[in-house]
Amino acid sequence: MSGFSLETPAVVDVFTEVLKRGPIARIDIARRTGLSQAAVTKAVAPLLLRGLLSAHDNMRPTQPGRPVQPISVNEGAQLAIGVTVRVDEVFGVATTMRANVLHSVTRRLASTSVEAVVEAVAATVEALQRRLGDDAEKVLGVGVAVSGDVDKQHGFVRASPRLNWSTVPFEKMLRDRLGLAVIIDNDVRALSIAEEWFGIGVDAESFAIVTIGAGIGCGLYVNGDVIEGAYGVAGELGHLPLGPSDLVCSCGRHGCVETVASSSAILEAVRSAKHDPLLTMREAVQLARAADPDAVAAFERAAVIIGMALATMANLVGPSVILVAGESVTDFDLYEQRIRESFDEHTFGAAGQCQIVTRSHTFEDWARGAAASLLRASVTRT
């Protein structure tokens, strides 16, 4: 993909800083990139000309000395589309260059066959293009996020247990269908990129983002980058072997965290205890809130293992902060206390100083992550 066609590594570095932190003064760009102020000015020039960046007099009247001209990004100059694929629907957003959402669109998925998903993604993208009108031509490309083992570099979904896919050349299929630049990514990794560039990562030296829901995923940001995994797999918190070895996971392995802690595992446990195979998650949550012992036990059992998984990750990687997000985070009151207790019990030494913060996430955030992944690739692949 052509991306932003940035001229030199210095231009990439400068554009990245402004995109992430703007408005920002040239001197601060120089400090952060390690470039000289002259090199920053030289790098900014073509970006101003192309309308990607703006410089404006913004001197506070009380401030002495030369006027400071902070540089900011014209975030509407180019746009991105991000799409997330779920088991029953496809969710898409059109965003600015700073991944701010302009429009969003949902399409039901009748099946998770590759063809059905490609068609639903295409319908979503086309609906967003219609909403954008003339601005549709500013779209750099489409980022598409799915759960599972995604080989982003070669454009393959290697294995997605939830979609029941293996070795799907998803990127090429989408590119052929859409006629646009496409990047595919693991959904949690995409969410991490959104946090890295436009969220918690702008100021944190390292962080983890953990999503709790139908699956349990984790994106890790350390040493200046998201951990991609040498073979494209990393952050598979839901598949750490911390659970009972007699439980079999949807991935086929024994004792994965998800066998106890995924929302379907919790629901299954409550259904089984209540002898009610039709019980809904909403009802299970209501039971737990009403202190029903079986429902409370199911959430607590999940919480204990999630806390162990977070402690495992903190002991291995030692992030500065863990952001817990995901669909179930609205029910987080049901297990937050137990997660923290279990985390405290198993973190080693100062690893326990790692903060756990929670943030509710929506489907829109997942799609926005896909857009952020596309945006980052557009900048760095230049």
SS3 110: coil
Structure tokens at 130: 């219609």
Structure tokens at 330: 């609205």
Identify which range of 75-83, 97-105, 125-133, 151-159 contacts its own copies by CB under 8 A: 151-159
Position 2 contacts its own copies (CB under 8 A): no
- Sheet-wide strand order for 101-108: 101-108, 89-95, 79-85, 139-146, 182-186
* Shortest distance in whole angstroms from residue 207 CB to its own copies: 9
Segments in the chain forming alpha helices (H)? 9-21, 26-33, 37-49, 114-132, 170-178, 187-198, 258-261, 263-274, 281-289, 293-317, 336-346, 363-380
Identify which range of 91-99, 175-183, 209-217, 248-256 contacts its own copies by CB under 8 A: 248-256
Cβ nearer to its own copies, comparing 236 with 331:
236
Site for its own copies in 325-364 (CB under 8 A): 345-346, 348-351, 353-354
Site string for its own copies, 182-221 (x = CB under 8 A): -----------------------xx-----------x-x-
Q: In angstroms, rounded to a whole number, what is the distance separating the alpha carbons of residues 376 and 226?
A: 11
Displacement of CA 93 from its chain's centroid (Å): 14
* Shortest distance in whole angstroms from residue 16 CB to its own copies: 15
Position 318 contacts its own copies (CB under 8 A): yes
- Exactly one of 228, 268, 294, 364 binds its own copies (CB under 8 A); that residue is 228
Neighbour count for residue 119 (Cβ, 10 Å): 16
Site for its own copies in 61-80 (CB under 8 A): none
Binding site for its own copies (CB under 8 A): 9, 34, 148-149, 151, 158-159, 205-206, 218, 220, 222-225, 227-237, 239-242, 251, 253-255, 308, 311-321, 345-346, 348-351, 353-354
